[in-house]
Amino acid sequence: MLRQFYDRVIALSGRPAAPYWLFAIAFAEASFFPLPPDALLIPMALAQPRRALWLAALATAGSVLGGALGYLIGFELFTKLAQPIIDFYHYHAAFVAFQQKFAQYGVWIILIKGLTPIPYKIVTLAAGAAAFNFPVFMAASLVTRGGRFFLEAVLLRRFGPPAQAFIERRLGLVTGLFAVLLVAGFLVLKYA
């Protein structure tokens, strides 16, 4: 079933409405959809290299706005479904500890996980459940999702089909290295 979704997404990349689909898939993937927008961004950027950066911006906007929906889902569903269970089993202290850990490390979680192939919806739902600071969540989402999509767009624009093959085979490595560089940059700024 996942392969059928992937094949349909690839087929969408050649249609005139493809940019709308890119935005919609990026939005949905950040909160509930199983396929990443990269599957559409990559063939679109290869087909129209001059529009690669614009397409990355479109994917970023969709993903960040979809992340806001994922946050809301995590926050609302947690409050309505999980909180009564936590109260029933007297796990309030454990949940408060989880919230404190997320408050302490949440920015790093968002920045690092948002770059990796791990589904971003997990991060958005967890941030909402932890009631993480929403403006900080949105800013970190913009940095991490923008970093990922713009990195792909720049590589595809510069190197074309060989970059596509490399990205598809080693997406985790590419985004992982970018995450390491991003974290290193923040550490240098913090301790310099």
Greatest mean pLDDT range, 84-88, 95-99, 118-122, 124-128: 124-128
Q: Report residue 24's pLDDT band, with 50, 70 and 90 as the boundaries.
A: very high
Give this prediction's pTM: 0.75
Residue 158: both structure tokens together: 């510069």
**pLDDT (0 to 100) of residue 181:** 62
- Pick from 77-81, 89-93, 167-171: least confident: 167-171
Q: Could you give the C-alpha distances from 87 to 39, 77, 82, 84, 133, in angstroms and in order?
A: 42, 15, 9, 5, 23
Region 173-189: what's the mean pLDDT? 62
Which residues neighbour 138 within 8 Å (Cβ) at sequence distance 6 or greater? 64, 67, 68
User: What is the CB neighbour count within 10 angstroms for residue 69?
Assistant: 17
Rounded CA separation 168/164 (Å)? 6
